[in-house]
Amino acid sequence: MKNIDKKTILVVDDDQDLLQQMKIQIEGFGFEVVTADGQKEAEKILETLKPDLALLDLMMENKDSGFILSYRIKKRYPETPVIIATAVTSETGMLFSVESDEDKNWIKADLYLEKGLRSDQLHREINKLLKM
């Protein structure tokens, strides 16, 4: 049963270990956490759940799963903040950001973070997006 006092965060990542670590970490911040191990599972969850915030991996089933999922979340729940967290820069050297209007048009996310960020940084970013 959903605790109405707690904000719900959807965490989506195909790395099961990381998914569990993120769940424990974010629950420690005082949030409800719903997890999905990929884009398809997340889309099923989103049919019945409107998260207060979504934290997505970029590369899951496909290299752009996070972008696609972010787009679909924003289309269905435009006010829900979306964070894309990935290690793609360290793995590929490709850089992404959501700074310019052009980037914001195709990357439907509110924030782009590199994986491996410290717990206090993540907590601060989540609170900022939730205006807490």
Q: What is the CATH number of the domain that holds 120?
A: 3.40.50.2300
84 pLDDT more than 50: yes
Domain that holds residue 102: 8-129
Let me know if residue 95 belongs to a domain.
yes
Let me know if residue 64 belongs to a domain.
yes
Highest-pLDDT range among 22-31, 61-70, 83-92, 111-120: 22-31
Let me know if residue 55 belongs to a domain.
yes
Let me know if residue 1 belongs to a domain.
no
What pLDDT does 52 receive? 97
Let me know if residue 2 belongs to a domain.
no
What total number of domains does the chain contain? 1
CB contact at 8 A, 82 and 110: yes
Let me know if residue 3 belongs to a domain.
no
Let me know if residue 22 belongs to a domain.
yes
Closest CA to 125 of 26, 6, 13: 26
pLDDT in tens, 66-81: 888 999 999 999 999 9
Let me know if residue 81 belongs to a domain.
yes
Task: Please state, in angstroms and rounded to a whole number, the distance separating the CA atoms of residues 68 and 70.
Answer: 5
90 pLDDT more than 50: no
CB contact at 8 A, 58 and 88: yes
DSSP run (H or E) holding 60 = none
30 pLDDT more than 70: yes
